[in-house]
Structure 1
C-alpha cells in the first residue's frame, strides 16, 4: 500500500496512485471535522506548508506510485504531469531535454543549462549531465510549474523538479522488489533502514536494471541495443548538540549500447528529386541520398551500424545538510554538495552507413554551497539565503563525417573528422529573500527578490582530420559570458473559505547566458556559439478547491508568459555538415491552463483527470545569416496533454486486490523551430495498467503493462536532409508486460 509523502500511512480509502493530481499526495487528517482539519502539505517554498499558503502550481507524486508505474527516470516522469514534455536528446544515456509549459531546451550538448532544474534532496542539478539519474526509494516528487527565481539555488525560467528521498527512521525495516518483463527487461531494487544509535539512523537503497530496447536491428554484427544501470544511495541522519545532520552519498554506473536510430529517406525518385509525402516517409517506397530504404515495414525494425557503439557513465556525489534552531523564531540550514560525472557515448545518426557519427565524452565536476535563514514572526515569515555554485566541464567530443567516402578516391576530399577539446567553467553567486505576510484573515502576500551574478568562461579548441592532412588547432578560442540580473515574485493568496483559495502571481524569471559547445565545423561557427540571457515575465491565476467531505478535489491554473530574448536551439538545415546553435530568438508568447480533478466515489475507488492546454506558444523570429528562427509554434509543445486514471482497492475471498488503468494523451508536436511537416509527431495516447495481489501483509505479486495498445510514436525526428536525404528518428518503446514481486520487512 502506498505511503503518503509526509511519511504518514494513508488508508485504502485515500489511495495515492494519482499520476498528475496537483499536490494531493500528502494528506494529513488530525481527526474530527474534515472541513477544518484536513491539510494538504507541500515543500514548494523550501519548507513543509499547507498547500493553500503556497502561490505555486505544483504536481505532487507519491514515491510508491512511481515504483508501481515502473517510472525509472526523470524523462519518464514527464508523462505524469500536465504540460510537461521530456526526451533523450541523442538517445538513451545522453542528456535529457525538458519542456514545461512550452519553456524548454531541446539540446544534446552537455554544456547546456536547462531552464528546468532538478533538485535532489535540495541540491540543484547543475549542467545537463547531472539531470540524468534513476528514480528509486523516493518519498515524493514535486514538479513546480513556472519561474522559480527567488528561493531555489539556481535560476530556472521553466520550473523545478524536487526529488525527496525516503529518510532514515529509527526502526529496522526495508523492502525488496524484483521485476521481469518483455524485451529482456529485469529490475531489482530495495532499501534497508536501520537505527545506529539513539539519535542516529541510516538508510541504504539500491536500484539495478538491465533492459533491451524495442528496436530490431538487421545490420550485420549489430543488435537492438540496451542498457545496464546500477545505483545506490546511503543516507545518514543524526542529532548532535542542537544540530540536525543529514549526510548523503550516491553513485551511478551505466553501460550498454545506444538505441539504434531509424534513418527514413524522403525521396520517391532520387534522380528527379521527387519527395515522398510526410505520411509515406518511413516506408520502403522512399530512399535517401545513397539509395537506402528502410529494411522492413515493421515499425520497430531498422538497420543501423551500431555494433561498436558504446555508452559508459560513472557518477558519484555527496552532500551534507546541517540545520539548527538559533532561537525560538529563527533557524538556519546549510547545504554543501559535491558531484563528479564521467561519460563516454558514441553515436550513429545515419542508419546503415558511416556518414554522420561521433562521440560525446564529458568529465564534469560540481560544487555548491547554500545557507538559508528562516525567521518566523507573528504574522510574517522570512526566508533569506546565499548561494554559490562552481562547475567545471571538459568535453572530448568527435564528429565524424562521411567516413565511407575515405576509401573512394573520387570522394576522398569530402570526409572530415573534427576533434573537440572544450573547457567550460561556470560560477554563480546569489542572494535572495522572500517574505510571506498575513494581511488579514482572508489575504496573504508573498514577495521575493533575488540578485544573481553568473559567468561562464570557455576555451573552445578543435583539430581537423582529413585523408590529406591532420590540422592541429583548427581553431582555438577563449572567452567569457557574464551577467548580473535580478528576479522577483509578487503574489496574493485569497482564502475564500477553509476549502477554497485563489492566488494571483507575477514572476520575473531569468536564465543566464553562456557558451554552447556543440558541434561546429568552422572557427566562425565556434565563435558564434555564445548566447545572452533570456527573461520571462509570468502572470498566473490559480484556484484550489475541495468538497466538504474531501472526496472531490479540483486544482486550476491559468498562465500567460511574455518571453524576452528567448534562448532557442536552432538546427541549421542547409549544408552537408550538421550545425546546431543556441541563439536568443527574440520575444515569444505562451498562454495556457492546467486543470486537475480527483474524485473518490466510494471507499477504495479513485478517479483522476488532468488536462494541460497551451493554445498560444509563439516562438520569436530571429535572423542572422544562415541562422533563422521561424515565427512559428514552439517545438516540443503540444496543444493538449491529458492524463486519466482509475484505481480500485478491494477484498475478494479475504485477499486484497488492487488494479489501476490509465492513459496519457498528447496532441501533435514539431521537433524543430521550422514547423516542418516531416519533423512532426501526430497526437497519440499511451495506456498503462497494473493488477496487484496482496498475498499477505508483506508480500505482493503484480502484473503491469506499458503502452498496452502498442502505439507507434517517435521520440525524436531530426532534419538530416542536406547530408543524408533523410530524417533521423528515435522511435518510442513498444508494448511491454511484466511481473513484479515485492517483499517488505
Structure 2
C-alpha cells in the first residue's frame, strides 16, 4: 500500500507514466518467470468463449476489443449486475447516480450515458441473454445467477444495432446442468450486510431440465440520516407514503432466476428464462458541498456544507426507492446441419419504479419565519415500462466463410409521472399531506411514450488462406418514436400534444485480420453506429452518429503463459445529444452540443509465471475533445492490477488461494457550473468571471486507488458435499473521495465512495 500512495500527488502525465512503468515491470518480471517455467508441464491460460459475432468463438480469434469473465470470476469479484462491472475493464467506469439509485451512469471510450428520459436512448447497449434492455437508466438491479459477462468496446452497430456507439455489455445467466444438485452460499459483512442464495438443479427428464435460484441481499447504508426519520410525506397516487430513509446507500433485494431447457428433439434446443427482482434502496448521501441561497437556513441554524465526507446528513425528503424488474425470454436454436442453423430470441420485459428525493442536502427552515421545515426543491418519480422484442438469425459455417443474417423488432411502451416540487412547506407534525404534488412546468413530466424499431442485418467473415480473414457487415434500422404529453396546462415556449418522428439509417463495418503466428494476430477495424433520434418535449432531434477506427493485437506466447491484448482507437462523434434545463422557458430540453473526437489505448495482460500464480495488468486511456467545450465524464486514465495465487492443495484436498487487486480511476469531471455561475445550453456554464477556480478544481473527482483482497479455502469436505469459505475486503485504505458531483442552481452536491467494507462468504455444494 505504501507503493501506491504517492500516485495521488502526481500530475496526469506522471500518473500515465507510472501506470505504464508498472505494467512494463510486471510484464518483464512475469515473462522472465514464464521462461524459467517453460517446458515444465505448467498449465497455460484458459480459453475464453464469447458470442460477439453471434456464434461461440475463442475470444482471441475475434477482431475487436472484448473483456470477458466466467461465473467463477464474477463471483470472486462480487459482480452481481450492471452496477458492478466497471472494476477490471479498461476505459469503463460505472457510477451510482445521485438522483436515482437504480440508474447507473455508464462511461466507455468517452461515451457517457445514464438518462432517465424514455425519449432518449443510451450510447452503451445492455443485453441479458441476448435480449436488448431498452432502458439502461433503470438497470441498477442484481441478477440472481450469472454465467458469463462480455464487454464489447467500440461501436457495435452492425450486429448489436442502434445505441451501441460506445460499446455493448452482455450478461448471460446460468442454464440448467441436467444433473441434480444444490448450491447454497451466503455473505455476512459490515454495515449489516446479509446475503443468501440457493440454487436447485433438476435431473433431465424426457429432454427437460430446470434450474431455479433465489437470492436475498440487504445492508444498511454507510451514512445515517440525522433528520427526523419518522417524517412521512403523504403523496397522492401513484406515489403514496414517502417516509424519510434511516440511512443512505441502503439496499434490500429479493431476486429470482428460473431456467428451463428442452433438448428432446434432435437438433433443437429451447431455453426459457424468467428473472424477477424486487429492489428497495436509498440513494447515497447527497451532501451539500458548496452553495445554497441566502434564504436557505438550516433547521437549528447551521448549514451542513463541506468538502469532506460526513457520516450523517440531515435530509428528510429522501425516501427509499422501490423498483420491480422482470423478464421472460425464449431462445430456440435448430441445427439443420453442421453448416446451417436457425436461432430465435423472443422476450417481454418491464419494470416499475417509484422514487422521492430532495436536492437541498439539508433540512431547511421556512424563510418566511413560520419555523416549519422547508424544501426548496423536491421531486417524485413514477415510471412504468414494458418492452417486446423478437430477433431471428440464420447462421452459416464453412471452411472458408462464417455468416449471419438477421431480422430484429423492438417495441416499447412507457408512462412517466415526475413532477418537480419547488418550495415545499411542511405542515406541523410527522405526517405531511401533499394534495398537489407540484409543478410539471419546472422540469417535470407527465408523458406516455411509444418507441418502435425494426432492423435487418447481415455479416460475413471470409478466410483468405490460412492467415488472412476479411469481415464485413451492414445493417438497416428504422425507428418510429411517439411522445404524448399529457399535461393540461401549457409549458412556456413548448406546445403540448402528440408528436411522432420516423428516422432510418444504414450502418456498416469492415475488418481485416492477419494471423502472424500461432495464437497471435493483428487486425484493423472500421465501424459506424448511432444513438436514436426522435422527439423530446415536442421537438424533433437528430441521431447521434459515430465513425470508429481501431487497430488491435491479440497474442499468446511462451507456451500460452502470457496473453497480451492491445487496442488503439479513434471515434468521431457528431450531433452529440445533451440535455439542459431552461427556466423560465420549456424546462428540460435536448440540444445538439456539437461534435467529439475520442482517442485512446487499451491494454489487457495476463501472466502465469508459475503454476497457480496469475498476474493481471490492465490499462485504459481516453482523450476526449468536444467542440462545445463541455467536459467529459470519462476518466483519461484507468487501470487494474491483480495477483491471484492458488496455493498447493492441503492433505485432505482443500484448496487455499488469495487475491490482492487494485482499481485505478483517474481524475475526471462532472458537468457542473461552479458557484457564482449560471447555466446555458451551449457551454453548460456562463458568467464565469467571478468564479473561484480553486473551488472548481476542488469540485472535480480526483484520481483514486481502490484496493481489495480475498483469502479463500475451497473444496472443504463436508460429508459428500464440498464447502468454501472466503474472507474479503474492499476499499481497504478507506479512500474518502467524491464519486459523483452535480449542480442545482448555485449549489453543488455530491456523493462519496463507499467506505471500507469487509465480510465473509461461505457456500456449500451437493
Q: 2:192 aligns with which of 150, 167, 184?
A: 184
Deviations 1:528-580 (A, max 9, x none): 5x4210110000000011113111111100000111112234466xx599955
Residue in 1 that maps onto 2:424 = 403
TM-score for the superposition, normalised by structure 1? 0.83
1:493 match: 513
**1:211-230 matched pairs, under 5 angstroms:** 211-221=219-229, 222=244, 223-225=246-248, 226-230=250-254
In structure 1, the residue matched to 2:218 is 210
Q: State the 1:62 CA deviation.
A: 2.0
User: 8 Å contact 1:612–1:640 — kept in the other structure?
Assistant: yes
Name the SS of the counterpart of 1:372 in structure 2: strand
Q: 1:153, 1:370 within 8 Å by CA — same for their partners in 2? A: no
Could you say what secondary structure the match of 1:476 adopts?
coil
2:262, 2:271 within 8 Å by CA — same for their partners in 1?
A: yes
Of 257, 263, 274, the match for 1:233: 257
Shift of 1:110: 4.8
> How much does 1:595 deviate?
0.4
CA contact (8 A) 1:360 1:395 kept: yes
Identify the residue that residue 627 of structure 2 maps to in structure 1.
Answer: 620
Partner of residue 438 from structure 1, selected from 463, 475, 479: 463
Q: CA deviation at 1:138?
A: 1.5
Question: In the alignment, is the contact (CA less than 8 A) between 1:95 and 1:109 conserved in 2?
Answer: no
Q: Say which is worse superposed, 578-587 or 440-449, in terms of deviation.
A: 578-587
Residue 715 of structure 1 corresponds to: 739
Alignment of 1:503-652 (within 5 A): 503-516=523-536, 526-528=537-539, 530-570=540-580, 579-614=587-622, 616-621=623-628, 631-634=629-632, 636-651=633-648
State which drifts further: 353-362 or 668-677. 668-677
Do the aligned partners of residues 565 and 212 (structure 1) sit closer, same or farther apart at CA in structure 2, a change above 3 Å counting?
Answer: same
Q: TM-score, normalised by structure 2?
A: 0.81
1:434-492 deviations in Å (ceiling 9; x for gaps): 0110112111001000000012100123367xxxxx99999633211221001111000
Structure number with the higher strand fraction is 1
Q: CA deviation at 1:679?
A: 4.4
Kindly provide the CA deviation profile for residues 5-63 of structure 1, in whole angstroms up to 9, marking residues without a partner as x: xxxxxxxxxxxxxxxx9xxxxxxxxx999999985432111111133431110001122
**8 Å contact from structure 2 (residues 636, 666) kept in 1:** yes
Give the corresponding residue for 2:155: 147
The equivalent of 1:700 in structure 2 is 724
1:422 corresponds to which residue?
447
| 1:162 CA drift (Å) | 1.2
What's the counterpart of residue 100 of structure 1?
A: 108
**Which of 371, 374, 383 in structure 2 is aligned with 1:362?**
383
Q: Name the CA distance, whole Å, in 2 between partners of 1:683 and 1:288.
A: 32
Cα distance per residue 1:62-107 (max 9 Å; x no partner): 2222222222321221122110012233455332221111112243
Bigger Cα displacement from structure 2, 305-314 vs 490-499: 305-314
Cα 1:48–1:480 shift into 2, 3 Å:
same
SS in 1 for 2:228: coil
Structure 1 gaps of 5+ residues are 1-20, 22-30, 272-285, 408-414, 465-469, 517-525, 622-630
Match of 1:658 in 2: 657
Task: Give the RMSD, CA atoms, in angstroms.
Answer: 3.2
Please give the alpha-carbon distance, in whole angstroms, between the structure 2 residues aligned to 1:714 and 1:578: 32
Structure 1 stretch 684-693 or stretch 49-58: which is displaced more? 49-58
Asked whether the equivalents of residues 112 and 634 of structure 2 are also in contact (C-alpha less than 8 Å), the reply is no
Greater shift, 195-204 or 605-614, is seen at 195-204
Does the 8 Å contact 2:144/2:255 carry over to 1?
Answer: no
Higher RCO, 1 vs 2 (CA within 8 Å, ≥6 residues apart):
2
| Alpha-carbon spacing, 1:100–1:474, altered in 2? closer, same or farther (3 Å) | closer
Q: What SS class does the counterpart of residue 496 from structure 2 fall into?
A: strand
- For each residue in 1:297-337, what CA deviation from the matched residue of structure 2 results, as whole angstroms up to 9, or x when unmatched? 86133434236623111122211111112344211001110
C-alpha distance after superposition, 1:604-656 (max 9, x if no partner) = 11111100011x201232xxxxxxxxx2442x111100110111111375353
* C-alpha contact 1:566 1:620 (8 A) present in aligned 2: no
| Aligned twin of 1:449 | 474
3-state DSSP of counterpart to 2:78:
coil
Contact map agreement 1:306 1:347 (CA 8 A) in 2: no
Give SS of 2:465's match.
coil
88-97 or 72-81, which deviates more: 88-97
Which residue of structure 1 lines up, in the alignment, with residue 406 of structure 2?
385
1:687-724 per-residue CA deviation (whole Å, 9 max, x = no partner) reads: 1111112361411111111111111122221112x3xx
| Alpha-carbon spacing, 1:552–1:122, altered in 2? closer, same or farther (3 Å) | same
> Helix, strand or coil: the match of 1:602?
coil
- Which residue of the other structure, out of 737, 741, 745, is the alignment partner of 2:762? 741
Question: Structure 1: how far apart are the matches of 2:190 and 2:224?
Answer: 14
Unaligned runs of 5+ in 2: 1-26, 28-38, 230-243, 365-374, 429-436, 673-683, 686-695
Secondary structure (helix, strand or coil) at the match of 1:148 reads: coil
Q: Secondary structure at the match of 2:105?
A: strand
SS in 2 for 1:66: helix
Q: Are the aligned partners of 2:59 and 2:66 in contact in 1 as well (CA < 8 Å)?
A: no
Cα distance in 1, alignment partners of residues 626 and 580 from structure 2: 12
Q: Identify which of 323, 329, 353 aligns with 1:313.
A: 323
Q: 1:461 aligns with which of 453, 471, 486?
A: 486
The answer to whether structure 1 residue 80 and structure 2 residue 79 are counterparts is no
3-state SS of paired residue (1:306): coil
Contact 1:666 1:683 in 2 (8 A): yes
CA distance in 1 between counterparts of 2:415 and 2:307 reads 42
- What is the alpha-carbon distance in structure 1 between the residues aligned to residue 426 and residue 580 of structure 2? 28
Quote the offset at 1:257 in angstroms.
3.5
Contact 1:313 1:344 in 2 (8 A): yes
For residue 217 of structure 2, give the secondary structure of its aligned residue in structure 1.
Answer: strand
Distance 1:292 1:314 in 2: 38
Residues 298/683 of structure 1: CA separation in 2 closer, same or farther (3 Å cut): closer
Which residue does the alignment assign to 1:340? Answer: 350
After superposition, the Cα gap between the structure-2 partners of 1:35 and 1:449, relative to the gap in structure 1 and judged at 3 Å, is farther
| Deviation by residue 1:238-294 (Cα, 9 ceiling, x = unmatched) | 124342100111111112443331112338x969xxxxxxxxxxxxxx999998532
